[in-house]
Structure 1
Amino acid sequence: MKIKKLFSISIVCFIVITCSSEDSIEQPAPTETVVAEAMYFPPSNNDTWETKSISSLGWHQDKVQDLLDYLQTKNSKSFMVLQNGRIVMENYFAGHTSTTPWYWASAGKTLTSTMTGIAEQEGFLNINNKVSTYIGTGWTSEPLAKENLITCKNLLTMTSGLDDSLGDDVTPTNLQYKADAGTRWAYHNVYVKLQDVVAAATGQSWSQYFNTKLRDKIGMTGSWIQSGDNSVYWSTTRSMARFGLMALNKGNWNGTQIINTDYFQSATNTSQNINLAYGYLWWLNGKASYHLPQTQLQFNGKLIPSAPDDLFCALGKNDQKIYVVPSKKLVIIRMGDAADNVNLALSDFDNVLWQKINAVIN
């Protein structure tokens, strides 16, 4: 009898152990929660800035020197790369430093676009209103009926219809009729009249309104300096990068919406059906065709073939560049003298530079 009892006990124990083992196999394995890296914004009250290494991004360190050599041989003064807001590359050439100001040239058109949008969101103006609503009639030498066709949006989109062959002078005698507003795209200095519109509509000087509503809010430094009929912005490379970072975030700076997203979305997408690669004073990549300054020719293909399709950019005379690539969370800045020949905006330099950048980041 004792033997039988021990045998039955051993069977029970075996069954219990087996069930316990099966239960443990069925338990789901714990899952790891991957937390996306937050977008970084440098403090607005000082110029400290978080950095990130090329190796941490899996980029190609061995291709960096080729990129830097190319920038140096092409008369660059500064080059800066932000990824998710953090500095990955910051390089200066030919005695230029992080505290040296340089001109934005027409890359600063995007500042004017942004300020126009801010003035509209504050109720001071409507971009669909005619320009003369704010600065009075007679600001051109066109017949009044033709002048009244020109809206603020026409100035934002380079479709004023004014003659672009007469130079940068924006006095009334030099602003002459070429076509009805909205029917012709032409790169024209008349966009600066938007600064007069903003000043008149807000009752503040252009610089005062700019400093209060944009520059100081995102920690930029710099100032507008009069150059002929143009007011040109000068700043450090990091200040230009701050503006690019705000653009990457669709007008938002560290949780504060500087300019409303609807306007900024319109500004960085095709704004008319003539030059598909142009928004509100922003250039756009990835479109089927584009136009260039001082020509009415249409060129098929992308603006910068080697750059990402979703890139939008600010392009200034002599190769001042702000490249923004949302898909890669990139902001790239280039300041300097003309890489090759004097140019108003786009040049062959853009495409080769992006080939060098791609070798590093891809």
Structure 2
Amino acid sequence: MKRLFILFLLGCIPFYSCSKDEPVNDEILYFPPIKSDTWETKSVSDLDWNSNALQPLLDFLETKNTKSFMILYNGRIVIEHYFNGHDENASWYWASAGKTLTTTVSGIAQEEGLININNKVSDYLGVGWTSAPLTKENLITCKNLLSMNSGLDDSLGDDVSPSNLQYVADAGTRWAYHNVYVKMQDVVAAASNQTWNNYFNSKLRDKIGMNGLWLNLGDLSVYASNTRSMARFGLMIFAKGTWENIQIVPESYVTAATSPSQDINKAYGYLWWLNGKQSYHLPQSQLEFNGYLIPNAPSDMFAALGKNDQKIYIVPSKKLVVIRMGDAGEGENFALSSFDNDLWAKINALVN
């Protein structure tokens, strides 16, 4: 009897490694190899999705100036399609979707004890990094930079020199989409005594097998990579900061980063956009809009959104990571556009 009971218990334990001869368990989260381009796939029919909705989705994407599109299910590629002369080796810019890379590396630096996001920015950069009065500058924490509520003037362009970072309101009292977040890269560089590029590459990019590099475009620091690299990053975040059995960034930090970071724009975390909240704010506006950020998307979806419709959508409830790169689908935009909602209508027709 005891032997039967032990066998029963063993049968209830999930085994997360299997030999090549054993069938793949779709419920086990999959990670592609670090130093290989191989990637396990699943078909639309394998998942019992609506195959009749696939071609309308691809046609829509092509007409909307898309260069690449991917859907991962539990880490495996279900759809990978390239359009308009783009291919799997070509790089494209992430635009503001890459802000989430800065968020993630900030979390790594905090876990290593190099920074504390609750500390004021001047602890790392020294005083005078803005032209705000010192008492006001000292109110600005690293978390304010990650939450877009520094209180600095967002109407003066992307320049983050001290003369262009001017006081408008006390930190924490005003939400405004602002390029000042990039000062977090300076914070990490100063605290680590490394260049931002070197720290980013060693602590994040190389650990999950991404390619790509940071481009300095005037006052902007923009990341560019191939599409699979963007998907790798999305998968790591979907996996709550892990890659296989390695914790890249703490799960608690990922949870905080993808939750409301302040009470003004509840649809914003640490540079991540959050669906399913009752209201939201948009770049270059102080207006509050009622309703979900993307009504057609699942309520638990959160996203990295970049200029001209660079997208990483992550949906934990559906085990999905969705990537879109390309030119603007619906007129030039800073992050959100009507394209998001229209695209999710097409995705829902496929997945639901």
- For normalisation by structure 1, the TM-score amounts to 0.90
Which residue, 271, 274, 284 being the options, matches 1:284?
Answer: 274
After superposition, the C-alpha distances for 1:228-279 in whole angstroms (9 at most, x for unaligned) are 1111100000000000000101101111000011111100001110000000
**8 A contact 2:267–2:275 mirrored in 1:** yes
> Is residue 2:344 matched to residue 1:345?
no
Which residue, 101, 120, 125 being the options, matches 1:111?
Answer: 101
1:198 corresponds to: 188
1:43 corresponds to: 33
Which residue, 265, 269, 283 being the options, matches 1:275?
Answer: 265
Flag structure 2 segments of 5+ consecutive residues without an equivalent.
1-7, 15-24
* Secondary structure at 1:62 match in 2: helix
2:169 corresponds to: 179
Amino-acid identity (%) = 69
* Secondary structure at 2:46 match in 1: helix
Deviation at 1:118? 0.4
2:149 corresponds to: 159
**8 A contact 2:88–2:226 mirrored in 1:** yes
Q: Which amino acid aligns with 2:331?
A: N
After superposition, the C-alpha distances for 1:93-132 in whole angstroms (9 at most, x for unaligned) are 0100000000000000000000001000000010011101
Superposed CA RMSD: 1.3
Q: Which amino acid aligns with 1:348?
A: S
* Secondary structure at 2:155 match in 1: helix
Instruction: Report which of the two structures shows the higher radius of gyration computed on alpha carbons.
Output: 1
1:11 corresponds to: none
Mapping of residues 1-362 of structure 1, within 5 Å: 37-362=27-352
* Secondary structure at 2:214 match in 1: strand
- Larger fraction in helix: 1
**8 A contact 2:119–2:142 mirrored in 1:** yes
C-alpha separation in 1, matches of 2:297 and 2:164: 37
2:22 corresponds to: none
* Secondary structure at 1:56 match in 2: coil
Deviation at 1:341? 1.2
Deviation at 1:36? 6.2
C-alpha separation in 2, matches of 1:64 and 1:156: 37
* Secondary structure at 2:79 match in 1: strand
C-alpha separation in 2, matches of 1:279 and 1:40: 26
C-alpha separation in 2, matches of 1:167 and 1:340: 23
After superposition, the C-alpha distances for 1:144-168 in whole angstroms (9 at most, x for unaligned) are 1101100000000000000111111
**8 A contact 2:88–2:227 mirrored in 1:** yes
Deviation at 1:37? 2.2
C-alpha separation in 2, matches of 1:74 and 1:179: 39
Q: Which amino acid aligns with 2:242?
A: N
**8 A contact 2:26–2:74 mirrored in 1:** no
Moved over 6 A (4+): 32-36
